[in-house]
A and B are shown apart, each in its own frame.
Chain A
Amino acid sequence: MRTLLKGNGAVARAAQMAGVQVISVYPITPQTSIVEELADMVAQGRLNARYIKVESEHSALAACIAAASVGARTFTATSGQGLAFMHELLHWAAGSRLPIVMVNVNRALAAPWSLFTDQTDSLSQRDTGWMQIYCQSAQEALDSVIQAFEVSQRVLLPCMVLLDGFLLSHTFENVDVPEQGTVDSFLGPLKVPHMVDIANPAAIGGLSDPECYTAFRRKLQIAHEQALEVWADVGRQWGELTGRSYDVIEEYRLHDAELVLVASSTPAMTARVAIDALRERGIAAGLLRLRVFRPFPANALRRALSRKRAVVVLDRNCSFGHHGIFYQETKSALYELPAADRPPVRGIIAGLGGRDITPEDIEQMLLQGSGSEGLEPVTWWKTLPEEEAVEAEPCTATK
């Protein structure tokens, strides 16, 4: 049934339909309306779940870890600073191999304070062992949360589903909400094989000797490698049930493109307009959208980008002291191509702290990236020139 939903509303509906049993959350802008809606559902009896109120995100995830350890289908949501506060427990959840699903509404990290979106919060948690799925629409958010429960329980890894703050979390769109029966037939029963069993007491996650530790970490890595196939598999199954298939990457006018934009989240949606416009002017532009970022779909990227004339990677994030994270990861994947097949790659950092990325911006990025007007290897898009920045009045916080 088609329903007008915000990104956050789609998330709450997805968690409800997935039949979550334990929710432990701490509210933070712009995630708040997710947890408010879930609280309403629980209070009104529309969702039979334990809603655990806590004093911090650290405790929220701790409660989720405990709940998942006893085999409950567990959900949480956060943003920006809240995700940063969870950091230690993100590692615990993944190392404990617990199928927790979390929505993180991307929010730029302080300082200075920002309420608006960029991806540095979730990308800072890249190495925690969580899967990461970047969504471009409310529809995809709903579909991905349900899929995340299925993938997580198959591979026993926690999964983070990402939505751009405000641009996706707070904008309405027509969402096709599946029937409950569809979800029920898709999502198998949760089995946590290593769940706490009071009949067989054990100490979990205790001290491991170096050999065992390495072996457990290797198993975590293998689970991620398998998860890539499972994501593709689950995306196909979902398509069979709903008509909406998903893969680890998404291609738009990419097959015959010479000039390719690699983007993620809502800018990837915007990019289609720019690509259509360039195509109309006879420029063979195309889009590769990164959807599943962890596990990283390196093979898919290599296949899709081999021999392209130019590749521009759009990063709404920065690994300070190096450069955009998607840019690094794309380059690293392409390095394994034979030199002749390896396309030139440029990186652009844009849209930090919620700054708009318009179709015109993307057109210019691609045109400059094609080489005729020349991009630096990494460009900070439309920032103040360095000399002027020094002489200019310092930026002050707006009221």
Chain B
Amino acid sequence: MSVPQPKSLRDLPITAYATRPTSENNTGTWKYVEPRYEDRLPPCAQACPAGNDISRIILLLAGGDLIGAGRLLRSGNPLPATLGRVCPHFCERQCNRDLFGGSIAVHMIERFLGDLLLRDESAQEPVTPSGRKVAVIGAGPAGITAAYALALKGHEVEVFDEKPKPGGYLRTGIPDYRLPKEILDREIEFIERVGVKFIQGIRIGRDIGFEDLRSRFDAVIAAVGLHESRAFEVPGSNHRHIYDGVELLERILSGEIPELPSTVAVVGGGNTAIDVARSLLRLDVSPTIVYRRSETEMPAIASEVEEAKREGVGFQFLTTPIAVVIEDGAVVALECCKMQLGEPDASGRRTPVPIPNSEFRLPFAGIVAAIGETADLGFLRQAAANGKRSLDGFYIAGDASTSEGTVAAAVGSGRRVAAMVHSYLVNGGTTADEPTLQSLWPRKVNTALVAGPQYLNPAYFAPALRPEIAKLNGEQPPSSFAEIVQGFAVESALSEARRCLLCGTCNGCLNCYYWCPDVAVHRDSRNGAGLEIDSMHCKGCGICVEECPRGAMTLEEVAR
């Protein structure tokens, strides 16, 4: 740089100033670390078994794009109105907002968007047919999701299901007070509009042979769920007033009002036990849950347990049935043994251990066994009998493969398996690996980095309380199967969305732009948030990263 030298002090200004732009000085070359826009995986999305891009959905909603938010949600999950009602919302347990006024009511937002889409009659974008055919066995949440995802890719999908109507356990196992069936019907109608064909009343292995199915379709997905109840084997368990929980729920849900004794023990601690007990309450039966561990170890959704207690379901913990007591041909009691908790088992829960000589009787006139379910993959025996050790183009989705036991996990599994099947179909028969979360999302996120609370800048978040969730104010015990939880109005949904911290998710708040001391953050429309770092002038001070409220920036060493 050549500057004319002053000849005397008088030629110099009072202090140094230059009228040439300072951008000539490429101060960015000094840095050894450099900021980068990089969305991290929010803890909610990490926890979501369905693989929903929760923060991006909420970001759209908070910006007032209701339909956009709903469609993004439904792009990966065809059952948002259903899941918003029945999911135990793992997301909310990990929510960073919990530190500042209570976790975001994500399930209420999901339900709001799902309900909104039930009224969305707009036509689907036409897809180019691929010419490939996929069969799905089972019209439960995993099968539905896989079918939907593959139909969106242009494949021809047929779903075979043995029940009269699609829905699987959503229809046969979840009581109406949690999930009104017209909601499910509407969501399934939408899936049919996308092009999925449901063929009901068909059981594979009985009505159609498995190998027959495989020969007619390019790929087959088994999503048969867990429908086989574990046997309740104690003396006296073959009495006609001993019921199978899954079966009993299905009967009740089909509209039948079974004749039942007035006091019933429901044996088990899972969601089936709770659903049966609460349904029985509504049929004027007095149910008591008998569970061998304590409340802490119950696999049922905690809020459902709370509701059951509130409604008047009895609980008998640390108790195992050992025999049904029958007198004069009638069930009169359940002979039980008291338990204590021992060492943790493989699931991390403490194992119940019988207390010697602690037998006692609880008076009941009927017993419902809800002690767990297993998958029935009997049709595979046919394939195995034919000497098959591996099957091209055959996949298992949902509870039958994962045993997770939640609708969200079934949806997530259906989604992932669909991605594998699609890859198998387009890549000419090569089976892909289990897809990553990133591969399921249209936006770019570093899913290896979770935006935990340590990445948030709490200075930017004022505490704001989680809203009360309205519930039907009925008599106790309840007599109706009417839906209990009431949905959000649009104002509540928007204000809840705006309460979301959007962890790890750039929302273009421009903090980086305002704070940059080197004026090296430029607003530009070339990327999503419209922000760009001028690498030639960014000195790597890291202020933008520190001041990003939501951990959507990363500082990394510059490679030299």
Interface residues of A (CB under 8 A from B): 95-97, 156, 193-194, 200-209, 211-212, 215-216, 218-219, 222
Set B14, B18, B21: member contacting A193, Cβ < 8 A: B14
Q: How far is the CB of B11 from chain A (nearest CB, A)?
A: 9
Could you say which of B6, B14, B16 has the most chain A C-beta atoms within 10 Å of its C-beta?
A: B16
The 8 A CB mask of B2-14 against A (1 = contact, 0 = none) is 0101100100111
Q: Is the CB of A205 within 8 A of B16?
A: yes
Q: How far is the CB of A174 from chain B (nearest CB, A)?
A: 41
Q: Is the CB of B18 within 8 A of A203?
A: yes
Interchain CA distance A206-B21 in the complex, whole Å: 11
* B22 contacts the other chain (CB 8 A): yes
Set A200, A206, A216: member contacting B12, Cβ < 8 A: A216
B residues 13-37 with Cβ under 8 Å of A?
13-22, 25
- Which residue on B lies nearest to A220, using beta carbons? B15
Please, which residues of chain B bring their CB within 8 A of the CB of A215? Answer: 6, 9, 12
- Which residue on B lies nearest to A98, using beta carbons? B15
Interchain CA distance A207-B13 in the complex, whole Å: 14
Interchain CA distance A204-B22 in the complex, whole Å: 10
Q: How far is the CB of B322 from chain A (nearest CB, A)?
A: 70
Please, which residues of chain A bring their CB within 8 A of the CB of B17? Answer: 194, 202-206
Q: How far is the CB of A69 from chain B (nearest CB, A)?
A: 10
Q: How far is the CB of B100 from chain A (nearest CB, A)?
A: 22
Q: Is the CB of B14 within 8 A of A156?
A: yes
Q: Is the CB of A97 within 8 A of B14?
A: yes
Q: How many residues of B contact A (CB 8 A)?
A: 16
Q: Is the CB of A97 within 8 A of B22?
A: no
Could you say which of B3, B6, B17 has the most chain A C-beta atoms within 10 Å of its C-beta?
A: B17
- Which residue on B lies nearest to A200, using beta carbons? B19
Interchain CA distance A208-B17 in the complex, whole Å: 9
- Which residue on B lies nearest to A208, using beta carbons? B16
Interchain CA distance A204-B13 in the complex, whole Å: 11
Other A-B contacts than A206-B18, A212-B12, 5 sampled, CB-CB below 8 A, are A202-B17, A203-B20, A204-B15, A216-B12, A218-B9
Please, which residues of chain A bring their CB within 8 A of the CB of B12? Answer: 212, 215-216, 219
Q: Is the CB of A212 within 8 A of B15?
A: no
Q: How far is the CB of A198 from chain B (nearest CB, A)?
A: 13
Nearest 9 Cβ contacts at the A-B interface: A202-B17, A203-B22, A194-B14, A203-B18, A204-B17, A97-B14, A208-B16, A202-B19, A97-B15
Please, which residues of chain B bring their CB within 8 A of the CB of A222? Answer: 9
Please, which residues of chain B bring their CB within 8 A of the CB of A216? Answer: 12, 15-16
Q: Is the CB of A206 within 8 A of B16?
A: yes
Please, which residues of chain A bring their CB within 8 A of the CB of B25? Answer: 207
Q: Is the CB of A201 within 8 A of B15?
A: no
Set B16, B19, B20, B21: member contacting A212, Cβ < 8 A: B16
Q: How far is the CB of A353 from chain B (nearest CB, A)?
A: 37
Please, which residues of chain B bring their CB within 8 A of the CB of A156? Answer: 14
Please, which residues of chain B bring their CB within 8 A of the CB of A207? Answer: 25
Please, which residues of chain B bring their CB within 8 A of the CB of A194? Answer: 13-15, 17
Please, which residues of chain B bring their CB within 8 A of the CB of A209? Answer: 3
Please, which residues of chain A bring their CB within 8 A of the CB of B9? Answer: 215, 218-219, 222
Could you give 19 example pairs across A and B, Cβ below 8 Å? A194-B14, A202-B17, A202-B19, A203-B17, A203-B18, A203-B19, A203-B21, A203-B22, A204-B16, A205-B15, A206-B18, A207-B25, A208-B16, A209-B3, A211-B5, A215-B6, A215-B9, A216-B16, A218-B9
